[in-house]
Amino acid sequence: MPAFDPYVILGVTADASSDDLLRAFRELVRQHHPDTRRPDTRRPAEPDSDADVRLRQILAAYDILRDPARRAAYDRAHVRQPPPPQAVSIQVRPAATRAGPWTTRRPSAIRVGPVRWRPLPPDRG
């Protein structure tokens, strides 16, 4: 997983629409912007606090994903690995072989009972 994944930072999937991106971006900016978040009164404001770093990541992620050309370039450069395939059990039947003196005879897939011959009805003509 790359160190900077804009989809993870914004909390959206790779197939999110531009409206979904904008909605997630606005919600995160409201939470982390210095004008709207509650100040921590226990310590003085630091320019590189965790919230400021997180806000910069949100802005950079949205800057990449809002432009369709930059988003396509990012998606091409960071190809997501598909999930590993799950194990599937397949039952394989042995190939049909000719019966001969060297092989054991297997029961046939088609079972035919005894043939009962009846005389044909007289021709009505």
Q: Where do the H-state alpha helices sit in the chain?
A: 6-10, 18-32, 50-66, 68-77
- Predicted local confidence at residue 68, as pLDDT: 93
- Predicted local confidence at residue 9, as pLDDT: 93
- Predicted local confidence at residue 120, as pLDDT: 76
- Predicted local confidence at residue 48, as pLDDT: 52
Residue segments in the chain with a per-residue pLDDT below the cut of 50: 1
Sign of CA dihedral 79, 83, 89, 90: negative
Contacts of 4 (CB under 8 A, 6+ apart): 57, 60, 61
Closest alpha carbon to 28 in 4, 8, 47, 14: 8
Q: Rounded to whole angstroms, how far apart are CA atoms 62 and 10? A: 8
